[in-house]
Chain A
Amino acid sequence: MIEVSHLVKRHGHRTVVDDVSFTALPGRVTGLLGPNGAGKSSTLRILLGLDRATSGVATIDGSPYRSLSRPLLSVGAMLGGPGAHAGRTARAHLTWVAQSNAIPERRVDEVLEYTGLRDAARRRIGGFSLGMGQRLGIAAALLGDPRVLVLDEPTNGLDPDGIRWTRRLLRSLADEGKVVLVSSHLMTEREDTADDFVVIARGRVVASGAAADVTGSHRTLEDAFFALTDEGADFRSTGPDGGTR
């Protein structure tokens, strides 16, 4: 289980995460949703030990990420793309990641097969499409067959086939009893996949719960999303009458 409790992150005077609390449960896909700049990635970076919180705690199965000695066996994560050096092949990238946690190297072939990258295993990552890069990031996250998956915008840049593949993957991982926390700035993207939602805007949680809880009196989940996050968006287009849309 992922537990985030009263998390605060400040950069100077700017508060990017403001008292964020939520949980993500086993067997369920939890969507962390909000516009660009809402604080989703910052929250995930703190959860995964990359950034330090100003205050508050974030734990995975009761432990802070930084205390895990072979973290990839319990948590698989992808943050902002695969995090791979362009000059390396996909296999070489996955090999060093596997070795770092003493994961058997046969897992490299298994995740390459699983994510459809087997034929690209010996290609340099610099030549990968955006979608292939996302698949590589997911492959690395799955190396340790972890109980918990944390994926930041995994469908960014994917073609429709890739989006459908990712949706099915997230569903099947949750159905295996894993905790799946996935962020997106598109409500429609997660609407069909997520069981629980945490909507975040301007660093604060503005709604959370199952679809019905978040939808409330709004017509659709998407309407609720825009109503809840309207003030928290970085950019809004304006209509001919000058009104926002």
Chain B
Amino acid sequence: MTGIALVRSELTKSVTSRPALILALVAILGTWVMAWTNAASAVGIAPDDPRLFAAEPIPLEYQGFEMAGFGYVLVVALAALSAGSEYGAGQQIRVTLLATPQRPRVFFVKVLLLATTVAGVGFLTMAGTVVITHAAGSTGVDPLELTPAIWANIGGVALAWTFTALIAFALGSLARSAILPLILITPLVVGVGDFVTGFWDGARYLPIAAGAALYSDPAAGLLAPLAGGLVQAAWALVLLVIAGIVFNRRDP
């Protein structure tokens, strides 16, 4: 009874938060629009066309996934906000814990809802993006019958976004602010991780680069998909456990 009540309550908090709704909608719809303009203008171009910067064609099962970056940033913001909004000027955390003093339960439900939301947003964003990419460009892939490899990559994005969101949430919860995860995670998401991977092999184990292995062309030089997923999951798990313990013990 109280578990369901808590889920309903946290769900209401999410859907009545205008920034969270806007971030989720812009992640989905914004990426779709960008995929449409990108695909309509470039996907059908021959790989040796001088208008392309790279002569190497992107394998079909990875086409459209370069669009993931935009939504990724918004999902990090959504997760950071989910943790930080409890500690803003209104100090909502006081009322949250007065209503449910069983802190591990509060933490668990928040994590569960964020993971479900981000997985859903990630799946919708990328499924729509890939369908649009193949529908708008002459790629040879039927947009209504995507291959298993493409579906696996869509699932990979949803998973990577979810793990990253949980990492951002854990950092936000530890710092009691949305600022820390935005400062730490956003640069990694927008390409600093890829840049570092270029000259330091160990960077493949950084959380975002590890997660990118779940949906990236192996030619990118990242970890194997399964290994990457496990490494990113481990990052998320460790940080969540630390954040959960601190949340349970600390005076808010």
Contacts and interface: CB of A to CB of B under 8 A. Distances in A.
B94 A49 contact: no
Interface string B61-102: 000000000000000000000000100111111111111111
Contacts of A89: 16
Interface string A56-74: 0000000001111111100
Interface string A90-130: 00100111011110000000000000000000000100000
Contact of B98 (A48, A67, A95, A96): A48
A80 interface: yes
A203 interface: no
A84 B94 CA distance: 9
Contacts of A88: 13, 16-17
B5 A102 contact: yes
A85 B92 contact: yes
Contacts of B85: 85
B183 interface: no
A20 interface: no
A71 B12 contact: no
A51 B251 contact: yes
B199 to A, nearest CB: 43
A50 B94 contact: yes
A46 to B, nearest CB: 9
B99 A95 contact: no
Nearest to A66: B101
A179 interface: no
Given A50-B98, A50-B251, A87-B18, A100 B90 contact: no
B92 A100 contact: no
Interface string B9-44: 110110011110000000000000000000000000
Contact of B97 (A49, A70, A84): A49
Nearest to B18: A87
Contacts of A48: 98
A95 B13 CA distance: 9
Interface residues of A, number: 36
B94 A80 contact: yes
A87 B19 contact: yes
A212 interface: no
Given A52-B251, A66-B101, A79 B94 contact: yes
A86 interface: yes
A56 B18 CA distance: 43
A96 B12 contact: yes
A121 to B, nearest CB: 13
A83 interface: yes
A49 B90 contact: no
A96 to B, nearest CB: 4
A69 B18 CA distance: 30
B249 to A, nearest CB: 8
Contact of B2 (A51, A67, A81, A102): A102
A82 B88 CA distance: 13
A66 B100 CA distance: 8
B102 A66 contact: yes
B4 to A, nearest CB: 8
B92 A84 contact: yes
A96 B109 CA distance: 14
Contacts of B90: 81-86, 125
Interface string B215-238: 000000000000000000000000
27 contacts: A49-B98, A49-B101, A50-B97, A50-B98, A50-B251, A50-B252, A71-B98, A71-B100, A72-B99, A83-B91, A83-B98, A84-B90, A84-B95, A85-B17, A87-B17, A87-B19, A88-B16, A92-B16, A95-B12, A95-B16, A96-B9, A96-B12, A96-B13, A97-B95, A101-B99, A102-B1, A140-B95
Given A82-B90, A97-B99, A102-B5, 11 more contacts: A49-B98, A50-B251, A52-B251, A72-B99, A79-B98, A83-B91, A83-B95, A84-B92, A92-B12, A95-B12, A96-B9
